[in-house]
Amino acid sequence: MDPLVVGQEHYDTARGVQSILQRYQELKDIIAILGMDELSEEDKLVVARARKIQRFLSQPFFVAEVFTGSPANTSP
């Protein structure tokens, strides 16, 4: 991804999302063994954000077309 193509703000946002999702992957083993209670407050925030991001990115936009009036598209 090139910030000159997509814009600096979009680039920074995408990189931030990648960072959160990568950190969440690292924390999954700790969560499985020790549970969420053993995480620091910062790590709990990362987990919450990552789960929200995953839910957002996995929602079916075709069903929202009737509400938004915008046709859904698929990406290759």
Domains in the chain, ordered, with CATH? 3-68 (1.10.1140.10)
Q: Please report the pLDDT score of residue 71 as a whole number.
A: 75
76 residues of the chain, pLDDT tens digit each: 898 999 999 999 999 999 999 999 999 999 999 999 999 999 999 999 999 999 888 877 777 777 777 776 766 6
- Whole-model pTM above 0.85? no
Would you say 20 and 46 are in contact if contact means Cβ atoms under 8 Å apart?
Answer: yes
pLDDT of residue 76: 60
> Would the CA dihedral through 30, 34, 36, 39 be positive or negative?
negative
Residue 74 C-alpha from the chain's centroid: 18
Q: Amino acid identity, residue 36?
A: M
